A and B are shown apart, each in its own frame.
Chain A
Amino acid sequence: MRRFVLIAVPYLWLLALFLVPFAIVFKISLSDIALAIPPYTPTLKDGLGALLAGLDFENFVFLTQDDLYWKAYVSSLQIAFISTLVTLLVGYPMAYAMARAPEEWRATLMMLVILPFWTSFLIRVYAWVGILSTEGFLNQLLLWLGVINEPLTILNTNWAVYIGIVYTYLPFMILPIYAAIERLDESLIEAAEDLGCSRLQAFWLVTIPLSRNGIVAGCFLVFIPALGEFVIPSLLGGSGTLMIGKVLFEEFFSNRDWPVASAVAVILLLILIIPIILFQRNEQRQQEAEQ
């Protein structure tokens, strides 16, 4: 019985916070747009029979007929992928330095990484508007240093979106990698060096593989929210920044088309969930093979 309760808790969690909302969104994605409150038909008020009869996959077919959606998915994947890569390249050395810092410093360094979370995410993104704008802090600094003669246009371009995403999600990359490296037994590296590895080789052959779990966790934590990101591209991005989060917003707010917006969201979820399930399965198989 106790075991059953223990297992039931995570499943209830999954059911309440994932499956039920998903079922609601999926149901809306099968309905039709209407001028009413709520703006789709049929609803539960129409009775179960009418509800089931009124549902169809029309909205999903519609998504295939306009290349906007396809392009937005691809462009989001690209932006999320590049941002994740840059975050990893920036975050890994930081996590490594933190984990290798003298023990009494670590708590402070950790604090410094977490500190930005004490300010609202929205305000921090807005701060970048001030930093990156044509008359902004960065341009003033570069002009003053004589690095550039003309102010750079960074705000309202994809560059700003990348900067925003990397900045925002960097802690999510650092923390799991830091945890992985800190746990790493330093004698393993000494052993590798004793056996003739250079420091670089030891890093490459021992530290990186042993921090793999941290890297994977960090990449997921950055990639998944970056893919559906809306706030950063809409505040920092330009009109040419095509991301699925913005398309979803347009469907929902400008077109008032909740059914199509829901269909877009369902597909976004599938894009995320299928690779994650495949990855999990692969990991499990590897673990079993090792055992």
Chain B
Amino acid sequence: MTKTMLSTVAALAVTATSAMSEEVRVYNWSDYIDESLLQQFEEETGIDLIYDVFDSNEVLETKMLAGSSGYDVVVPSGTFLQRQISAGAFQKLDKSQLPNLDNMWDVISDRVGKYDPGNEYAINYMWGTTGIGVNIDKVKEVLGEDAPVDSLALVFDPANMEKLQSCGVHFLDAPVELIPAALNYIGEDPDAQDAETIEKAEPVLSAVAPYVQKFHSSEYINALANGDICVAVGWSGDILQARDRAAEADNGVNIEYYAPKEGALMWFDNMAIPVDAPNPEGAHKFLNFIMDAQNMAAASNYVYYANGNKASQEFLVEDVIGDTAIYPDAETLENLYTTSPYDARTQRTVTRMWTKVKSGT
């Protein structure tokens, strides 16, 4: 009995001391930072950093709308950011606490302004495109030397997909990215908001869905790198990470990333502070730390995503800044499109269509 009492007291004491030291809780995408930066932040500021990850905007949004998430910094993508701002989920940034804002790249800040007018609530962390990751040898083995690897036809033409099925195809489990891509493939406006146009994507997706092994938003990194699958519709940097993991493992798997020539979705992941963040001051410190040119460059060099930080560019390695799959040239940049958030009714149409595509019902 005394023993239990003692250990309870000890546990309470531990809780009390840890409550006294300052902590910042960050909720970011999986595989999205150089983890040595996290240690560096703790060393520089003396703040305990608690770092959790997610792999879908929907999961983050549910936490935000439920309230009291306990996080101080979260990283929603553009359309989700916009919707969560209008739901009142975020607090305005106190720019006086963010001297490193001067490092930001106006080109990207302007584009993010579509979702967050005046950049009042969020700073851009990374941005990228949604495209196709290809295990080049396997795909050529299946489809021949002239396989259309740089075209949406690779994944939306049932004839190609039927053959690719044998080596494995993954799609992102993200209707808000795949439906615009399908609309773009058939020449419709990828940012269409009316149910009638959106529904035109269904036959395109349903025709190829039976050949998709899995709709998932993070497993494809390892699956591509291990050679379990040969094609993935995924996010640029994730596919480049798969390329690197395969190269490190030296397992004979060669991965390439293509932004489809028909056009690709350009998205922005942005850091924002929830309205009920327990430690907004610490959150600002974290944001400022991330916006430091060298830190941001270290993150990009590690995850192969472009960032919205102009000053960081001089610290980027050539593999990153010189790769048009990461920092697209002017021509490709013109070919990229962005999307807007769906309202609740359209969202239901979109999700229902996605379920129908995935399960056949």
Contact = CB atoms under 8 A, between A and B. Distances in A.
Interface stretch (A31-39, A101-109, A175-183, A214-222): A31-39
Contacts, number: 78
Given A37-B89, A133-B228, A242-B361, A247 B355 contact: yes
Contacts of A71: 361
B88 A37 contact: yes
B359 A255 contact: no
A253 interface: yes
A156 interface: yes
B327 interface: no
B87 A156 contact: no
A178 to B, nearest CB: 32
Interface of A: 33, 35-39, 66-68, 71, 133-135, 153, 156, 238-242, 247, 250, 252-257
B318 to A, nearest CB: 33
A219 B301 CA distance: 53
Interface string B59-93: 10110111100000000000000010011110000
B20 to A, nearest CB: 29
Contacts of B86: 35
B352 A38 contact: no
Contact of A135 (B83, B226, B356): B226
B213 A156 contact: yes
Interface-centre pick from A67, A239, A250, A254 (highest chain B CB count, 10 A): A254
A38 B64 CA distance: 9
A193 B73 CA distance: 72
Contact of B83 (A33, A35, A66): A35
Contact of A239 (B64, B228, B352, B358): B358
B360 interface: yes
From DSSP, what is the main secondary structure of chain A's interface residues? loop
B58 A253 contact: yes
A35 B175 CA distance: 20
B344 to A, nearest CB: 6
Contacts of A254: 58, 175, 347, 351, 354
B56 interface: yes
Contact of A37 (B58, B66, B352): B66
B358 A256 contact: no
B168 interface: yes
A181 B214 CA distance: 43
B341 to A, nearest CB: 10
A134 B212 CA distance: 14
Contact of B66 (A38, A66, A68): A38
Given A156-B214, A239-B212, A37 B65 contact: yes
B228 A38 contact: no
B65 A39 contact: yes
Q: Which 7 A-B pairs have the closest CB atoms?
A: A239-B358, A253-B58, A39-B65, A37-B67, A254-B351, A255-B351, A242-B359
Interface in B209-239: 209, 212-215, 226-228
Contact of B228 (A134, A253, A255): A134
B141 to A, nearest CB: 15
B65 A257 contact: no
